[in-house]
A and B are shown apart, each in its own frame.
Chain A
Amino acid sequence: MALNKKIAISIALILLFVAGSYLSEKLSREQGLKSASVIKVQENNNLVALMGVDVLRALKEQEFPGDKDSKGPSLLYAMGSAGIGEFNTIEVKGMDNKSVFQANKNEITRDYILYFTDHGTVNLCKKNDYQRFLVEDVSEINKIN
């Protein structure tokens, strides 16, 4: 086979790989947002970050290193890692907007935990009160102002 033909085939393969990467990214994002295994972090409805539950697990390890009793990272820590340090009001929404939790800056402490569920999502609850979920299957964290 001529060299030029091989070059053309290789370029086509590379373009296919890149297109396939964008496609698989789009599919995994849509699937994740639908099942709440990916959380949308927004600032006044503008997307700031997308966080997978596996990322939250890594954040839990960073926040509570070696603590086997910790159930998940704090809401504040997760928001901070997405670049939201300052806020006045925060809104946490569950999958399909079934439950919504809103709180002011003064109310939010490190006691608000993103609790890992057994189906690959997180619930918002208060520390040591793991039976009562404030938001089930968190899908969105929104900084309102």
Chain B
Amino acid sequence: MEETAKKAPVSEKFIFRLGLADVLRLTMFGTLISITKDITRLPLHLPGHTSIYWMGILVLGKGLIPKFGAGIIMGVVSGVLAVLLGLGKEGVFVFFKYFIPGLLIDFLAPVFYNKLENPFVGAICGTLTSLSKLVANLVLGILLKMPMGFIALGLGFASASHVLFGAAGGLIAAVLIKRLKPRLSTWE
């Protein structure tokens, strides 16, 4: 019994010093990203419109579990699911499109002192992760020699649209974090 008590707490024993419960919660957020992308068919026909829930869920997950590795886990889970569900035209490389925004949010949040409940910080993080998705898309297109003509010729509009939807997603997430965080004090 004494030996068990001396061991590190469960919350510091899994991966990235995250507890099993946190990893399971992050897996849920990661799954939500891929599933929402797969089942929603918003007839908006605007580039980057998926960022409104994609980046929204990503910022929400990182805001509720503000530990390093949260974004990476969400990115890995959503990326693996995207590959398994056959989302996108990039084949297995679609993984990187999901992983990069997750990786980025892990480095972005500490820059803003993990204050993702601040609407400005939420919107900025949503925007930057949304733009990282656009960049990942472009790089994959170039590497896989996919037709880039339409993408390159609409790059300005595509980036503006990614900014708009990413900011909207981040803003909604910031409001949700502010409302949810005080009620989730028993998460640990």
Contacts and interface: CB of A to CB of B under 8 A. Distances in A.
B111 A52 contact: no
A91 interface: no
B150 A52 contact: yes
Nearest to A8: B120
B149 A21 contact: no
B131 A14 contact: yes
Contacts of B118: 3
B112 A50 contact: no
B117 to A, nearest CB: 12
Interface in A89-115: none
Contacts of B160: 18, 21
Residue of A7, A17, A21, A28 with highest tally of chain B CB at under 10 A: A21
Q: How large is the interface on A (under 10, 10 to 19, 20 to 34, 35 or more residues)?
A: 20 to 34
B148 A52 contact: yes
A51 interface: yes
B64 interface: no
Interface residues of B, number: 25
A52 B152 contact: yes
Contact of A6 (B111, B127, B152): B111
Contacts of A3: 112-113, 115, 118, 121
B121 A25 contact: no
Interface string A13-29: 01001100111111011
Nearest to B127: A14
A141 interface: no
Interface in B67-117: 111-113, 115
Nearest to B153: A50
A7 B147 contact: no
A10 interface: yes
Contacts of A54: 145, 147-149
A135 interface: no
B143 to A, nearest CB: 14
A51 B148 CA distance: 10
A71 interface: no
A38 B148 contact: no
Nearest to B130: A14
A57 B147 contact: yes
Interface of B: 111-113, 115, 118, 120-121, 124, 127-128, 131, 145, 147-150, 152-156, 158-160, 163
Given A21-B159, A58-B147, 13 more contacts: A3-B112, A6-B112, A14-B124, A18-B159, A21-B155, A23-B156, A25-B153, A26-B156, A52-B147, A52-B150, A53-B149, A54-B148, A55-B149
11 contacts: A3-B112, A3-B118, A21-B159, A25-B153, A26-B156, A28-B153, A52-B148, A53-B149, A54-B145, A57-B147, A58-B147
